[in-house]
Structure 1
């Protein structure tokens, strides 16, 4: 007679190696499995560390409650099997959303610059965070932001820098302010916006690496600084980029990302107003300029997507195996996945719209609350909707 495997071996050696999508389906096997998969923080952490991570891109368009989640590394990128339709689980839908950042599969979301949430799109668990409480005589516009996890304190932090515009003529017209929220003590605290001695206007969503948020700041035509905000010390600093001039090429633009856990810069040139290749540099040793290494050059001059990528692509998501290029058009955004080894294997996907919020995230089961405090909904928050998870 066949003997059943011990439960701890099933959970610790088998289930933890499975992807999140499969585990979500297995929550219907038994109440015990459901409890382990959804509400056991040790299991969630072990699964996140043990299994191969699935990288996805989440896209919100025109403030619609319907979202598109694209499998970043799928060889069938652009086909129906490579994306899912999701919905914001929040009861009140936004006119506009910003993805402040992601960490360990958790997304930090701002709706209409007033309501803030932490949300796991894989499990649909979410929690509303406190509002900042802007002064009543000023209107606020977020300028740059980010979020990340601090392993030493097992804590998440969110930072938002915004411009306050005065509604009264006699007052100063605008003031820059920085707020930081720690999930262990969820109260927005004022940060030091003047720690660099100058105004910083980097590009919106910060890139997280080594528990530090990073932005590229273009201070002169084709001249950049790397602005960093340390989530632990809550201080800004300037870091150095590669010496692009050593290439002897005229730098036109660069953009920031993460490849293999290391900070990455994608740089490209303006050649007859046509971008035909991109260099990817990775910082091998954090905060050491000499460790910047050009890991690969993506040449797409002979690819069918070249016409779409003319006049400077607007964004890149890079991995060691492939790169996804983003190109804004009059109808929406083209997402183009290019395999580094077999560049003729292209994946194309168009999302229509005019106002987008985009974030990269990893699928996980990680959550930050005990079972009785977790809130999960599909489109509403009724008790009934919490009992069933969509695969």
Structure 2
């Protein structure tokens, strides 16, 4: 039914396009076909066009928006966004935000990267006029990105870089003078997106509600990272309790309750709390940690939880030993897993320097989009989507901006 609705809309637009063909559209058609003739692609049955579009990589779709009015409307149609996001066409890419506060050789910008280890990684899109270049990436969920000003706790932004949309959330009540942690995710039960921020109390902002609401008091703990990792419907933080024990605290976005997840049967996490990060590797929750090694000065250990919530299912998935070509990296305080590529390579955030680790060759390589070295960046995994904030945040009363 959704495809049929798209077809009806698109057919009407094609008729308009044929009646109002102009030089700009003709030039775009020439680019697609390589000839000066009318783009033959538009002669295909429209249901075939939709099926083809659902298989086009996100980089190509972003360019297809400017070919003709019919394609533009198709790609921004909510029904197409739902179909594209629900399929396997939208691969995980890496978002890198280079803050304008640390312009190390480059001005502040946000990059969508197709990471590769063997060749220079491709920049899918670069946004030089992003509205929050002095903020920090919190996380990504279903094609939407959350970021905030960590110095003040506000403002918090939700954006979709593929559509060039963003909105600014109203200020919460959390005291910016106190440490706060935050996260962004999706509740499948309520079909709602939620932003979480807490210090002593939990504050919850549901997109579309228009206001923050305060929940229960939070048990005291020291958080390894300010930002929660969204996985399996919950946000996760590595915490150290007042009794010095270390565990993973998670906040379920469905029932809005805290739970705990035990760490592997090892005591080294208490001593390596600062050097350990929670992440997601493949379809599993993971831990990346820098630990002392008998055979070398230190090593990176990657543990994955094969069965979510079951302590006995933790296994050591990967060990990266010293030395490597990047010996100057071995004084790092921590290393975070960003994502795992289809070829098995792992993308890491090494304190602001993005890198790709080739498991088979056992070597690191700098992630250089288009040959450009980037430092002082935040990196997160991101699944691009054409979903519109207008549809998600209806009722918020917040102004939607474009960049």
* Shorter-chain TM-score above 0.5: yes
Q: After the TM superposition, which residues 343-362 of structure 1 pair with which residues of structure 2 at under 5 Å, given as runs?
A: 343-344=362-363, 346-349=365-368, 350-353=373-376, 357-362=378-383
The aligned counterpart of 1:116 is 156
Partners of 1:273 and 1:177 lie apart in 2 by: 45
Deviation at 1:179, TM superposition (A): 0.6
Instruction: Return the match for 1:146 from 171, 179, 183.
Output: 183
Q: What is the TM-score normalised by the length of structure 2?
A: 0.74
Partners of 1:108 and 1:376 lie apart in 2 by: 15
Determine if the alignment matches structure 1 residue 341 to structure 2 residue 357. Answer: no
Deviation at 1:285, TM superposition (A): 1.7
The aligned counterpart of 1:71 is 113
Q: What is the TM-score normalised by the length of structure 1?
A: 0.76
Partners of 2:138 and 2:234 lie apart in 1 by: 14
The aligned counterpart of 1:159 is 196
Q: After the TM superposition, which residues 194-343 of structure 1 pair with which residues of structure 2 at under 5 Å, given as runs?
A: 194=218, 196=219, 198-219=220-241, 224-244=246-266, 253-271=275-293, 276-299=298-321, 301-319=322-340, 321-328=344-351, 333-343=352-362
Query: Cα deviations across residues 276-302 of structure 1 (Å, max 9, x unaligned)?
Result: 432222222221112222222233x24
Deviation at 1:41, TM superposition (A): 2.0
Secondary structure of 2:217 counterpart: coil
Query: Cα deviations across residues 13-52 of structure 1 (Å, max 9, x unaligned)?
Result: 21111121111110112212111212x2221122123204
Deviation at 1:147, TM superposition (A): 0.6
The aligned counterpart of 2:18 is none
Q: Which has the higher strand share?
A: 1
Partners of 1:274 and 1:186 lie apart in 2 by: 54
**Contact preservation (8 Å) 1:150, 1:211:** yes
The aligned counterpart of 2:388 is 367
Change (3 A) 1:254 1:89: closer
**Contact preservation (8 Å) 2:281, 2:339:** yes
The aligned counterpart of 1:172 is none
The aligned counterpart of 1:171 is none
Determine if the alignment matches structure 1 residue 127 to structure 2 residue 167. Answer: yes
Change (3 A) 1:192 1:83: same
Q: Over aligned residues, Cα RMSD in angstroms? A: 3.4
Q: Which has the higher helix share?
A: 2
**Contact preservation (8 Å) 1:20, 1:365:** no
The aligned counterpart of 1:10 is 49
Change (3 A) 1:365 1:76: farther
Determine if the alignment matches structure 1 residue 377 to structure 2 residue 399. Answer: no
Partners of 1:89 and 1:316 lie apart in 2 by: 25
**Contact preservation (8 Å) 1:68, 1:83:** no
Deviation at 1:144, TM superposition (A): 0.9
Partners of 2:310 and 2:94 lie apart in 1 by: 29
**Contact preservation (8 Å) 2:116, 2:367:** no
Query: Cα deviations across residues 212-262 of structure 1 (Å, max 9, x unaligned)?
Result: 0001113489952111111111111221111135x9xx8674211001122
Determine if the alignment matches structure 1 residue 22 to structure 2 residue 60. Answer: yes
Query: Cα deviations across residues 311-355 of structure 1 (Å, max 9, x unaligned)?
Result: 544433242622234344xxxx332211112334723554345xx
**Contact preservation (8 Å) 1:222, 1:251:** no
Determine if the alignment matches structure 1 residue 34 to structure 2 residue 72. Answer: yes
Deviation at 1:128, TM superposition (A): 2.3
Change (3 A) 1:275 1:338: farther
The aligned counterpart of 2:215 is 191
Deviation at 1:145, TM superposition (A): 0.6
Worse-matched range after superposition: 235-244 or 55-64: 55-64
**Contact preservation (8 Å) 1:148, 1:156:** yes
Structure 1 spans left out of the alignment, 5+ residues: 163-175, 379-391
Partners of 1:303 and 1:110 lie apart in 2 by: 35
Partners of 1:41 and 1:2 lie apart in 2 by: 23
Partners of 1:63 and 1:109 lie apart in 2 by: 15
Change (3 A) 1:371 1:188: closer
Deviation at 1:273, TM superposition (A): 12
